[in-house]
Chain A
């Protein structure tokens, strides 16, 4: 569905996006994960045809970006990282206007109610809170039922329950066979939603795999336990796949002498730090 080869791009003279290449299959949620300024939004803008002057080949939904014509956008939905709405029009008027630019569109009120905005439909967007604007911006991208969705940090600035609603809507689109590019710096969202993630740092892809493989490839899961030895609390760790070899651990279990026990998987964040030497947030 999306194919990027030898992509190079810069806003200035110094190279920024360097030799990026990846493929996204139909029906996949593909994540761009990386720290601020890594080039996630830049990549997304290239994929949606908003930046000219890149080198390399970019194919989206069978069309080469740069040679695409306007009907290409009938099947592309973009949720920008900032609201892109007429501030003085109401939520409903905004959606109605944008819907009218496409050949087909979904029912506006259904979409509004899905993100809990039906009661605010006739409020001006300038009176919306930040989270309300993000939700409206998000359904604006779904309005024409596009085959490919580009979502730039859709859940940022949302409270947990609204973020949940939005993530369910994203999964719902995937279930309908839509291809989704999801940009985020939230590793939990990436782990939960993405089939595959690309770690992006300084305009490069540093790693690309399923969240599970990325986590598994690195440090195995561990068990951490504590017990008391002549009044002193002792902390121990054992890899999950070596527990049967840990005599102390087995003895403690048999004698009910464990003080505490936790298993810990590395998170995508740990892996990110390990692979790139950079923090996500």
Chain B
């Protein structure tokens, strides 16, 4: 099982490169903040924290993982190994999805928003995969951290702004086609969870497939030719 090997490799990588430490730091900070806030704001704040942090971290962690692999030329070794592009993608998405789900529970449970654990965990996991897939696609195309941060801004706006609008002002059901709105629905326990989960699933799968294509191109051209 190559996915298992890659997954374990990614987990070790994230541990050694200090990703888990950063997660731990932010979790403690966020939980502290939650309890400093007035009780009535706590739920909304927790939803935003989970949406912007554990799930969206995928975007940045994915970027830094791939950039490390590029700069240490490990990608060359992976490109000449039997690893298939989808195996590379899935193991990365799942490794980040797993830790994101754990951290989200750590924030969500004290905030009292985990009403249905199934929808909550799957929502966070899929959301994380979606963000990670987007991050992976961007990371494949760029070479420096600055380029990466610039390139993620449009992605952040596209995913975040409609979700925030929905959370605070405009609760029209057609907004549910947007993945950010779906995750808000699933985390806050407001609205119908099943359609939200399905829509989110669709987006996550779509971007995973797209990311596989990008990774395939990247692995075939680590020798230095732009396709």
Contacts and interface: CB of A to CB of B under 8 A. Distances in A.
A22 interface: no
Given A73-B82, A88-B16, A88-B17, A51 B223 contact: yes
Contact of A48 (B16, B72, B80, B82): B80
Contact of B16 (A72, A89, A100): A89
Contacts of A84: 72-77
A82 B223 CA distance: 13
A78 B72 contact: no
A82 B224 contact: no
Interface string B1-16: 0100110110011001
B84 A70 contact: yes
- Which of B68, B74, B224: most chain A Cβ within 10 A? B74
Contacts of B146: none
Contacts, number: 89
Contacts of A88: 16-17
Contact of B80 (A53, A78, A83): A78
Given A84-B77, A87-B72, A101 B223 contact: no
Given A88-B17, A97-B5, A50 B83 contact: no
Q: Is the interface of A mostly helix, strand, loop or mixed?
A: loop
Contacts of A85: 72, 74, 77
A82 B82 contact: no
B72 A53 contact: no
B76 A83 contact: no
A93 B77 contact: no
A71 B82 CA distance: 5
Interface in A60-111: 70-74, 76, 78, 80, 82-89, 93, 97-98, 100-103
Contact of B73 (A53, A71, A83): A83
A78 B79 CA distance: 10
Interface in B127-178: none
A92 to B, nearest CB: 12
Contacts of B2: 100-101
B222 interface: yes
B5 to A, nearest CB: 4
B36 interface: no
A49 B220 contact: yes
Interface residues on A, range: 20 to 34
Given A52-B221, A89-B12, A93-B12, A73 B80 contact: yes
A100 B73 contact: no
Given A50-B79, A97-B9, A101-B2, A86 B221 contact: no
Contacts of B224: 11, 45, 51
A236 B165 CA distance: 95
Interface string B70-102: 001111111111111000000000000000000
Contact of B82 (A50, A87, A101, A140): A101
B13 A98 contact: no
- Which of B68, B77, B225: most chain A Cβ within 10 A? B77
A80 B73 contact: yes
A17 to B, nearest CB: 12
Interface string A5-42: 00000010000000000000000000000000000001
A82 B225 CA distance: 18
Interface string B199-227: 00000000000000000000011111101
A186 to B, nearest CB: 23
8 contacts: A51-B221, A52-B220, A53-B225, A73-B81, A78-B76, A84-B75, A85-B77, A97-B12
Those 4 A-B pairs whose CB atoms lie nearest each other, nearest first: A50-B223, A100-B5, A51-B223, A84-B73
Interface of A: 11, 42, 45-46, 48-53, 70-74, 76, 78, 80, 82-89, 93, 97-98, 100-103, 140
Given A70-B83, A98-B81, 16 more contacts: A11-B224, A11-B225, A50-B80, A50-B223, A51-B224, A73-B81, A74-B82, A80-B77, A83-B73, A84-B73, A89-B13, A97-B9, A100-B9, A101-B6, A101-B78, A101-B83
